[in-house]
A = this chain, B = another copy of it.
Amino acid sequence: MGKRADISLSELQIALMRVLWVRGETSTADVAAQLADERGLKHTTVATLLTRLEKRGVVAQRRDGRQLYYRALVDEADVRRSMVADLLGALFAGDAQELVAHLVQESEIAPGDLAKVRRRLARGEHDA
Name A's B-contacting residues (CB within 8 A): 11, 14, 76, 79-81, 83-92, 96-106, 108-109, 111, 113-118, 120-122, 126-128
Contact B101 A127 (CB under 8 A): yes
Closest to A14 in B: B90
Judged by DSSP, the binding face of A is helix
Q: A79-B91, A81-B102, A104-B118 are in contact. List 16 more A-B contacts (CB 8 A).
A: A80-B102, A83-B87, A84-B102, A84-B103, A84-B108, A85-B108, A87-B87, A96-B109, A100-B100, A100-B103, A100-B114, A105-B121, A111-B118, A111-B122, A114-B114, A115-B115
Measured CB to CB, the closest approach of chain B to A123, in angstroms, equals 12
CA distance A103 to B127 in the complex (A): 12
Q: How far is the CB of A107 from chain B (nearest CB, A)?
A: 9
Chain B residues in 8 Å Cβ range of A87: 83-84, 87
Known A-B contacts A11-B90, A79-B91; A120 and B102 likewise in contact (beta carbons under 8 Å): no
Cβ–Cβ < 8 Å partners of A92 in chain B: 80
